[in-house]
Amino acid sequence: MSPEKMVHMANQIATFFKSQPGEDQAERVAGHLRDFWEPRMREQLKAHVAKGGDGLDDLVIEASERV
Amino acid sequence: MKDFIIPDDRDMGTPARTGAPVTLTIDGFEVTVPEGTSVMRAAAEAGISVPKLCATDSVEAFGSCRLCVVEIEGRRGTPSSCTTPVAPGMVVHTGSSKVRKIRRGVMELYISDHPLDCLTCSANGDCELQDMAGAVGLRDVRYTAPEGGALDNHFEARNTSGENHRYLPKDESNPYFTYDPSKCIVCSRCVRACEEVQGTFALTIEGRGFDSRVSAGNALDDFLSSDCVSCGACVQACPTATLQEKSVVELGTPERSVVTTCAYCGVGCSFKAEMQGDTLVRMVPWKNGKANRGHSCVKGRFAYGYAHHQDRILNPMIRENITDPWREVSWDEALSFAASRMRGLQETYGQKSIGVITSSRCTNEETYLVQKLARAVFMNNNTDTCARVCHSPTGYGLGQTFGTSAGTQDFDSVEHTDVVIVIGANPTDGHPVFASRLKKRLRAGAKLIVIDPRRIDLVKSAHVEAAHHLPLRPGTNVAVVTALAHTIVTEKLYDEEFIRTRCDWDEFQAYAEFVSDPRHSPEATEELTRVPAAELRAAARLFATGGNGAIYYGLGVTEHSQGSTTVMGIANLAMLTGNVGRPGVGVNPLRGQNNVQGSCDMGSFPHELPGYRHVKLPEVRKIFEDAWGVSIDPEPGLRIPNMLDAAVDGTFKGLYCQGEDILQSDPDTKHVAAGLAAMECVIVHDLFLNETANYAHVFLPGSTFLEKDGTFTNAERRINRVRKVMAPMNGYSDWEVTQLLANAMLKESGGANWTYTHPSQIMDEIAATTPSFAGVTYDLLDEKGSVQWPCNEDHPDGTPLMHVDGFMRGKGRFIVTEYVATDEKTGPRFPLLLTTGRVLSQYNVGAQTRRTANSIWHGEDVLEIHPHDAENRGLHEGDWVKLASRSGETALRAHITERVAPGVVYTTFHHPDTQANVVTTDFSDWATNCPEYKVTAVQVSASNGPSEWQEDYAAQAEQSRRILPAAE
């Protein structure tokens, strides 16, 4: 998928979990990505992060390490 | 074939009652019935049929025909048994010589104004007037016209000198039934059915005495131009040939009937398919059907003609390239072509390069097999279903809050509700039979709150008016739902005891603090949502304090960037107000297609095995690995939009799509087309060469719901049987085709064959592997008629209400619902918001209903636009307009109406030549990728006709549908 679309989708997930109470938002974002994103999509995300993660929410970048 | 004995469905004369038992004596027999029951019904319970004409048990007693008179000891006169309630110790005589004489006299009068053409009448053999003439022993009619004088009757046709001004010709305007005034006995059953059962009030009795006539709409109206919605309730209620199905006129009366389930919306109505041999004469709603209780809508009742439409493809077809014409081949050739292509793709591009889409229009058993094909034959989890694009947020949202992905109630629950919230749903069009049941409750005094950008019919229609209509701006559901919660929490209207005992109190504290923030107040959000704060507060107070509160919602909730968040917000509202776990309350998703619930239950989603259990769980995988003898991939597969993205990227190459038309139904048509075009093997399994088939290499002909056995699961979790009433015209039921494909693929890899010989065996496998279905068997369904899951050891008869003593997940969980504006924003280029939906007469992509006479009500998609927006653009009613978004543009005709607010436009997606989805975007729900169909920023401008894209599309579609003449 286009990088813009992937970034948009990942940031939407981060936006939701950021609004939730608690301390473990990055883990919850990572958990959501593990549960619902097919490995190809997670690989694309990690590759994007490796290249600097342009446009990604910080929470997504933090979560991507645990995906 | 197993015989299914239809339970007693005699007409008991008047509706059933509940109440304390009352014992009386009828013709010497003691009978005990609930208080409030009529003498007529009590007699019927005792097996005694009192003659009747104006009474039928679908409507309240009326007492007009005087045929059902009886004698009651100690009472004067001869009361009508239909309107007389039973009393303790009452002694009734239904067959005394006195009442016999009265009845014969009444019948004589009726027959004196009725044509005696019984032998050639379309109701011959199915006429209550005929039956009653026999039952009362009518042998003579003494009333004849005076010699030489004009006949004063309603049935002698007018002659050339213009005599008999009372005669009215047949009204044949409705495509499915006729109204023949000459046969009418003015019993008012049709009028009462239209009012009480359907709730449309389209019919009335005009005139008085001998001048009384049934009339649809105003004096100048016929049935078609009136408010009639063609639900068929009047036809069903009519005791004579006055209102008669045209199919019966044409074919004659049926000789047998089979109970089955409608293949349209998620209400899942039970019908009797009435047959002559293997010809379907008519579909009649079954009064023992627990979803519909004997009612129907125009789709299920009449729109079945597509099953024999000339467009139906009956032979398998293949082609090398999508630019080639189709070539008809044998099943063997088609299946081995498909199997070797799919296997070849896996060899070249990897195991995960192919997948399936299961259908919400197919049975549970068929859906189960298609996802099994992906998991056990393709050996990946690339399976998804059209619920992705409708109710996937329901699965996620209710799963997170309550612990299970399903509505909490049965449809009967609406009879006990006091306040109803309808949000993002238009039941009178989308779920008409439920809407009729809801309207009946509203007429009895329940209050209604409508949350919808459009002024839908429920907001104000005959004898129904919403207490509050919150006309929110599309895309602001979360803000509105949170503002409702704000009001309930800050005004301390919540049910603390329920929350303390049933929910997680700590999470409630955090939630209460969140919603209490003044930024969530109705006043603070008014500017954003456009909902007047005072109205919103009043609605919140009504819902929290008005008694049993029930929430019904549809795709106006789910098809948003925050679809899942809104579902959670709705669950929060129900928990806050203690409205879970008893009749009359609950959270009720109205499912779009007949088997959306079932297709989700059956493990169609790429991350879940049947029964909503994640593929990552080894103990769940083990159940299926043991049953199927394979190892299952622990990683989630691709969802439909992800499949299309991966196809464009070149890593997804093959698709088996059963009974869905993703090119027409999914958003951003150009992107879907690009994805399909990039695939090397698209297998479409359908009744017709649908739009997706334009990009297919293999076409496998499908079977209709009339041609197979199976089950559908409706929106109330009710598992209903689908019964085969005729042989599949294409040769195989759909489950057989999937099995043939699986075996063709397994042959290539040397795997073990699938060997199902009947869908009941597939259900047995589902029951053996899925705890919520553990108790389900075809025998049980035959015995009970239907059951609602969970059906297992703890709930052997199924579960009408969920979360009665506790939530499925234990404690109910409040979830913070922060409003996030969608990125689909209006601006100078695209200043209007488009929202999409459906109409009563058409269904989804229209593949079925467009191939019936239903198109008379809706022949094309039109754009609803507010007069203010139309005037700004110089548009008039019926003008061609261009509808453009950042994704694409199309053209259609404008309909100027105040149903939509200024700034909002609306259309349907039933017609491929409009392709509303060329305009919708690829934005989607954050949690589930459910597309944001309900919010697209658009511009509308004058146009001369179809857009260039539409013309190109039509040309491509025509080119792609060429079929080579079969070789000799």
Report phi then psi at B234, rounded to 5. -70, -40
Distance CA B156, CA B337 (A): 66
Whether chain A has a CB inside 8 Å of the CB on B917: the answer is no
Show residues of chain A in contact with B614, CB under 8 Å: 35
Q: State residue B966's pLDDT score.
A: 66
Chain A: closest CA distance from residue B647 (Å) = 9
For the stretch B130-179, pLDDT in tens is 999 999 999 999 887 666 655 678 887 766 666 677 888 899 999 999 99
Residue found under tokens 């809407």 = B435
Tell me B963's DSSP state: B
Residues B557 and B612 in one domain: no
Chain A: closest CA distance from residue B657 (Å): 20
Query: Which of B636, B818, B820 is opposite residue A38, by nearest beta carbon?
Result: B636
Residue B504 lies in a domain: yes
Min Cα–Cα distance to chain A from B127, Å: 59
B445-450 average pLDDT score: 97
- How do residues B389-441 score in pLDDT, each as one tens digit? 889 999 999 999 999 888 999 999 999 999 999 999 999 999 999 999 999 99
**B720–chain A nearest CA distance, Å:** 31
Q: Is residue B4 predicted with pLDDT exceeding 60?
A: no
Same domain, B90 and B121: yes
Contacts for B647 with CB less than 8 Å, ≥ 6 apart: B653, B674, B675, B676, B678, B679
- Check whether residue B225 and residue B128 sit in a common domain: no
CB B847, CB B309: distance < 8 Å = no
Show Cβ contacts of residue B468 under 8 Å, excluding neighbours closer than 6 positions.
Answer: B449, B450, B535, B536, B538, B539, B542
Q: pLDDT-derived band of residue B475, with 50, 70 and 90 as boundaries?
A: very high
* Alpha carbon distance B889, B675 (integer Å): 19
B392 touches chain A (CB under 8 A): no
DSSP calls for B945-959: SS-HHHHHHHHHHHH
Q: What is the pLDDT of residue B236?
A: 96
B74: in domain: yes
Interchain contact B926–A (C-beta under 8 A)? yes
Query: What's the mean pLDDT in B71-86?
Result: 96
B352 and chain A in contact, CB less than 8 A: yes
With an 8 Å Cβ cutoff, is B510 touching chain A? Answer: yes
Complex ipTM over 0.90? yes
Cβ–Cβ of A38/B929 closer than 8 Å? no
Q: What is the DSSP letter of B792?
A: S
Put simply, the answer to whether A5 touches B922 (Cβ < 8 Å) is yes
Provide the CATH number for the domain around residue B884: 2.40.40.20
Least confident range from B144-153, B270-279, B345-354, B492-501: namely B144-153
CA of B515 to nearest chain A CA: how many angstroms apart? 12
- pLDDT value of position B341: 96
Closest alpha carbon within chain B to A21: B510
Identity of the residue in A2, A20, A41 whose CB atom sits nearest the CB atom of B642: A41
Boundaries of domain holding A51: 3-64
Q: Do B565 and A16 touch (CB under 8 A)?
A: yes
Q: In what order do the strands lie in the sheet with B654-658?
A: B327-328, B317-318, B698-701, B681-686, B654-658, B354-358, B383-385
Contacts of A37 in chain B (CB under 8 A): 636
The CA distance from B425 to the nearest CA of chain A, in Å, is 25
B37-48 confidence digits (pLDDT tens) = 999 999 999 999
Whether residue B231 sits in one domain with residue B349:
no
- Contacts B636 to A, Cβ<8 Å: 35-38
Number of folded domains that form chain B: 5
Final residue belonging to a domain, choices B274, B308, B342 = B308
Write the DSSP assignment of B524-573 as a string of letters: HHHHHH---HHHHHHHHHHHHHSSSEEEEE-HHHHSSTTHHHHHHHHHHH
User: Is A1 in contact with B352 (Cβ distance < 8 A)?
Assistant: no
B813 inside domain: no
Q: Answer whether A9 sits within 8 Å of B929, measured CB to CB.
A: yes
Q: How many CB pairs under 8 A join A and B?
A: 61
What percent of chain B has pLDDT above 90?
86
CB contact B496 to A (< 8 Å): no
Chain A residues touching B382 at Cβ < 8 A: 38
Is the model's pLDDT at B1 over the cut of 50?
A: no
CA of B741: how far to CAs of B55, B656, B688, B762, in Å? 54, 10, 19, 16
- 3-state SS assignment for residue B658: strand
Residues in chain A within 8 Å Cβ distance of B637: 38
Please report residues of B whose CB lies closer than 8 A to that of A34: 616
SS3 for B379?
Answer: coil
- Kindly state the average pLDDT of the residues A30-45: 95
User: Per-residue pLDDT for B967 more than 70?
Assistant: no
How many folded domains does chain A comprise? 1
**Residue in the block written with tokens 């058993």:** B365
Give mean pLDDT, residues B376-381. 96
Contacts of A9 in chain B (CB under 8 A): 924, 926, 929
> Quick check: B636 and A20 CB within 8 A?
no
Residues B508, B563 share a domain: yes
Looking at the structure, do residues B240 and B128 belong to the same domain, yes or no? Answer: no
Partners of B651 on chain A (C-beta within 8 Å) are: 40
**Minimal C-alpha gap between A24 and chain B (Å):** 15
Would an 8 Å CB–CB cutoff place B192 in contact with chain A? no
Partner-chain contact B642 A1, CB within 8 Å:
yes
Cβ-based contacts of A19 with chain B (< 8 Å): 816, 818, 820
Q: Residue B220 and residue B696: Cα distance in Å, rounded?
A: 50
Residues of chain B numbered 254-293 and touching chain A (CB < 8 Å): none
Q: Which chain A residues contact residue B504 at CB under 8 A?
A: none
Q: Which residue of A has its CA nearest to B637?
A: A38
State percent of chain B over pLDDT 70: 98
Specify the CATH number for the domain of residue B99.
3.10.20.740
Chain B positions in Cβ-Cβ contact with residue A23 (cut-off 8 Å):
none
Both B350 and B290 in one domain: the answer is no
pLDDT for residue B145? 65
Contact B571, B401 (CB under 8 A): yes
Range of the domain at B568: 392-589
Tokens 């103990």 correspond to what residue?
A: B619
> Residues B472, B532: one domain?
yes
pLDDT for position B2: 46
pLDDT at B191 over 70: yes
Query: Given an 8 Å threshold on Cβ–Cβ distance, is A38 in contact with B638?
Result: yes
Chain A positions touching chain B (beta carbons under 8 Å): 1-2, 5, 8-9, 12-13, 15-16, 19-21, 32, 34-41
Residues of B in contact with A20 (CB under 8 A): 815-816
Whether residues A40 and B816 touch (CB distance < 8 A) is answered with no
Residue B911 covered by a domain: yes
B324 shares contact with chain A (CB less than 8 Å)? no
Best mutation target, B642, B822, B925, to test chain A (most A CBs within 10 A):
B642
Q: Which of A1, A13, A16 sits opposite B645 (nearest CB)?
A: A1
Contact assignment for B816 to A21 by CB distance below 8 Å:
yes
Asked, for residue B290, whether it belongs to a domain, the answer is yes
Are A40 and B616 inside 8 Å of each other by CB? no
**Minimal-distance CA residue of chain A relative to B510:** A21
> Does one domain contain both B26 and B78?
yes
Whether B400 has its CB under 8 Å from any CB of chain A: the answer is no
Whether the predicted pLDDT of B5 surpasses 60: no
pLDDT, tens digit, 9 for 90 and up, residues B539-575: 999 999 999 999 999 999 999 999 999 999 999 999 9
How close is the nearest chain B Cα to the Cα of A35, in Å? 7
pLDDT in tens, B698-756: 999 999 999 999 999 999 999 999 999 999 999 999 999 999 999 999 987 777 799 99
Given B561, B589, B617, the domain boundary residue is: B589
Q: How confident is the model at residue B650, as a pLDDT?
A: 96
Residues pairing with B551 in the sheet: B421, B587
Distance from CA of A12 to the nearest CA of B (A): 5
CA separation (Å) from B887 to A32, B453, B670, B922, B943? 29, 23, 8, 8, 18
Type of residue found at B367: T
Give the angle B552-B557-B559 at the CA atoms, nearest 5°.
Answer: 140
- Same-domain check for residues B195 and B272: yes
Same domain, B217 and B347: no
- Same domain, residue pair B485 and B447: yes
Identify the band that residue B915 occupies on the pLDDT scale cut at 50, 70 and 90. Answer: confident
Alpha helices in B374-504 (DSSP H): 392-401, 427-430, 432-443, 477-490, 496-502
Task: Give the integer Cα–Cα distance in Å for B886 and A25.
Answer: 33
Q: Do A40 and B561 touch (CB under 8 A)?
A: no
**CB environment B735-745: b (16+ within 10 A), e (fewer):** bbbbbbbbbbb
**Nearest-CB residue to B637 (from A2, A5, A38):** A38
Measure CB to CB from residue A40 to each of B514, B646, B923 and give the nearest one.
B646
